[in-house]
Amino acid sequence: MLELLLLALALAMDCFTVSVVCGVITGKFKAGLMMRLAFLFGFFQALMPLVGWLLTSRFSTYLEAVDHWIAFGLLAVIGIEMIADSFKKEEDKTIEPYGLKSQILLAVATSIDALAIGISFACTGYNELSQLWTPLALIGGASFVMSLIGFGLGVRFGDIVTRKVKPEILGGLILIGIGIKILIEHLG
């Protein structure tokens, strides 16, 4: 159980980081936005291991070969768009934490590495779907809670950050950094 909790917290770190950035960008506590973002992060973090587990029998070698490239590509594209958006007028921006489309893209991008966890579940004795409920609940729950905490910290300390750098540039660089981290971990 401790191992599963640590795994859940490790997977939640990307959600936490991106939620901090979203909190910095919004600059205000917006309960609906915070809850939706946290729900989407938790949902996709729990869904991806399930998808990885389900696909393992047929496509595991293909997924393992490219999952890190997909995560890197999505995070890099979103990060570059965020940086480019920082130079646009407010109404012309394409990536903003308020939009459902942006939130889903962020949730999917930060959870792709969880596909590999689902593959590892299938390879380490999780043979029945019923065995996955506890790990998936822990992963989703940890991501939900860490996203709420991250968003709150971003809002609380965002003024300090925005005085020194545009939050969209910081967010874009962080997303690109997360993508590079995922790529290095899988290639190394």
Query: Is residue 13 assigned to a domain?
Result: no
Query: Is residue 132 assigned to a domain?
Result: yes
Domain residues for 98?
A: 37-187
Query: Is residue 123 assigned to a domain?
Result: yes
pLDDT, residue 113, reads 75
Say which DSSP state 28 is in: S
- Answer whether 16's CB lies under 8 Å from 153's CB: no
Query: Is residue 107 assigned to a domain?
Result: yes
Query: Is residue 91 assigned to a domain?
Result: yes
With 0-12 / 13-18 / 19 or more C-beta atoms within 10 angstroms meaning exposed / middle / buried, residue 155 is buried
State the DSSP H helix or E strand holding residue 103, giving kind and residue range, or none if neither: helix 100-111
Query: Is residue 2 assigned to a domain?
Result: no
Task: Give the list of residues 6+ apart from residue 39 with CB closer than 8 angstroms, or none.
Answer: 144
pLDDT, residue 119, reads 77
Query: Is residue 5 assigned to a domain?
Result: no
Give percent of the chain with pLDDT exceeding 70. 89
Query: Is residue 53 assigned to a domain?
Result: yes
Whole-angstrom distance, CA of residue 70 vs CA of residue 116: 12
- Total number of domains constituting the chain: 1
pLDDT, tens digit, for every residue of 79-119?
788 788 778 776 665 667 778 888 998 899 888 878 878 87
Mean pLDDT split into 10-residue runs, the chain, 188 residues: 85 87 86 95 95 76 73 80 76 70 88 80 79 94 96 88 71 81 82
Task: Give the list of residues 6+ apart from residue 7 with CB closer than 8 angstroms, or none.
Answer: 117, 135, 138, 139
